[in-house]
Amino acid sequence: MHRFAFVILHYVTVDDTVRCVESIVSKFGPETADVVVVDNGSPNGTGAELKRQFDAAGRVRVILNARNLGFARGLNVGFAFAKRELGADFIALLNNDVVVESDDFVPAIVREYEREPFAVLGPDIVSTQTGKHQNPRKVFFDTPRKVRKNILFLCASFAFLFLGLGRVFDRLCGGLRRWAGRGREANRPPATPLAQKPSEGRLSSDWMLFGACWVFSPDYVRRFNGLYEGTFLYLEEEILSYLCRRHRLAMAYFPAVRVLHAERSSTRAAYASDRRQELLRCGNLVRSNRCLLRLMREGREAYAESAGPA
């Protein structure tokens, strides 16, 4: 019999985390699924508050990280606990601003795995702000060249933001785009239509799963202890997608189950000003893109070594 665990990463916004936990425990008993909350060093003391609240009920484990480890490393604390201490072979990683809506979330996913095995599954994720369905997402940075170009753009953006010239940078980019497009329309070849967004099933290498909610199957849990830990924030989806392609692991989109996503509530609560949010975003995106580029280079080198001399 499979054992299923939900791992929720908490930071600052306690009401979101309580709603997330309640959306799970109200549907699934402890014989069906375990719940692990990882407080990622919240500076407002809400991790200890959650531990007091949930310890009394005895159905939810709360782990307190001494400091903010970042998104991937924070979740990996809960992943390792669920795998080693609870014996879970299905592990769902959730943002704390997610609410599980489907009553059959656990049994439906287990049945889908038994029907067609996968390594990582993504449910239907619906934004409560826009109503948009956030899964799956297009992979854009799939070559080292694209990643390098993105790093240059982000470094320039960070420099302008740091100097308080973010709007100047936006206008400059807009002007450059208009200048580059002058006189090209007549000679431009027809645009290649975007591949149609998959409605369900296994994903091709062109698509990836949104990181607000991932479900890892026994195929993944047996081999790995969580997510790649080189990043602090951002690009976890791209890196997971790349590593799954590299290791030939199947990613699947399963819209038969649904979660609701409030979007970036912890980031907004922790960083009040728009400028601080943008500096945080740009700085971490630069570091995460460099991690992705390094992984791509390692993958190419490993492939060259395995190929050997002709």
Using one digit for the tens of pLDDT, what is the confidence trace for 114-139? 999 999 999 999 999 999 999 999 99
Residue 288 lies in a domain: yes
User: Of the candidates 96, 89, 91, 70, which has an alpha carbon nearest to the alpha carbon of residue 79?
Assistant: 91
Say whether both 84 and 163 belong to one domain. no
117 phi and psi angles, rounded to 5 deg: -55, 145
Q: Tokens in use for 91?
A: 């592990």
The answer to whether the beta carbons of residues 294 and 243 sit under 8 Å apart is: no
Residue 192 lies in a domain: no
Say whether both 73 and 162 belong to one domain. no
* Domain total of the chain: 2
Say whether both 235 and 155 belong to one domain. no
Say whether both 122 and 221 belong to one domain. yes
Q: Tokens in use for 264?
A: 């970036």
Mean pLDDT throughout 13-41?
A: 93
Say whether both 174 and 290 belong to one domain. yes
Residue 197 lies in a domain: no
Say whether both 301 and 241 belong to one domain. no
Say whether both 132 and 103 belong to one domain. yes
Q: What is the mean pLDDT of the chain?
A: 88
ω before 136 within 30° of 0 (cis)?
yes
Residue 71 lies in a domain: yes
Pairing of strands 120-127, 33-39: unpaired
Cα separation, 260 vs 100, in Å, equals: 7
Say whether both 152 and 277 belong to one domain. yes
Say whether both 48 and 13 belong to one domain. yes
> What CATH number corresponds to the domain at position 79?
3.90.550.10
Residue 193 lies in a domain: no
Say whether both 286 and 248 belong to one domain. no
Q: Please report which helix (H) or strand (E) contains residue 191, including its range.
A: none
Residue 101 lies in a domain: yes
Q: Tokens in use for 132?
A: 């948009």
Residue 131 lies in a domain: yes
Say whether both 100 and 232 belong to one domain. yes
Q: What percentage of the chain exceeds 90 in pLDDT?
A: 73
In tens, the pLDDT along 191-246 reads 555 578 898 999 999 999 999 999 999 999 999 999 999 999 999 999 999 999 99
What is the domain extent for residue 96?
A: 4-139+205-264
Predicted TM-score (pTM) of this structure: 0.88
Residue 178 lies in a domain: yes
Say whether both 13 and 92 belong to one domain. yes
**What is the structure's pLDDT at 273?**
57
Mean pLDDT throughout 245-260?
A: 97
